[in-house]
Structure 1
Amino acid sequence: MSTPLDTLAAPWRHEEEIRKSRFLAQAAPVDSPAAALAWLDANGDPAATHNCWAYRIGDAYRFNDDGEPGGTAGRPILAAIDGQGCDRVAVLVTRWYGGIKLGAGGLARAYGGSAAECLRLAPRTPIVPVGHLALRCEFGELALLDARLREMGATVERETFEADGATLTVAAPLDALDSIVSRVVDLTRGRVRPRRLD
Structure 2
Amino acid sequence: MTHVYFIRHAEPNYKNHDDQTRELTEKGMKDRVLVTDYLKDKMIDVVLSSPYKRAVDTVKDFADKYNLHIKSVHDFRERKIDSIWIEDFQTFSRRQWADFNYKYSDGEALNEVQKRNISALNAVLIEYQNKNIVVGSHGTALSTIINYYDSSFGYDDFERIKSLMPWVVKFTFKNTDCIGIDKINLFDDKS
The answer to whether the superposition gives a TM-score over 0.5 is: no
Kindly indicate whether structure 1 or structure 2 has the higher relative contact order, using CA contacts under 8 Å at least 6 residues apart.
2
Specify which structure has the higher proportion of strand. 1
Specify which structure has the higher proportion of helix. 2
- With structure 1 as the length reference, what TM-score do the two structures score? 0.28
- With structure 2 as the length reference, what TM-score do the two structures score? 0.29
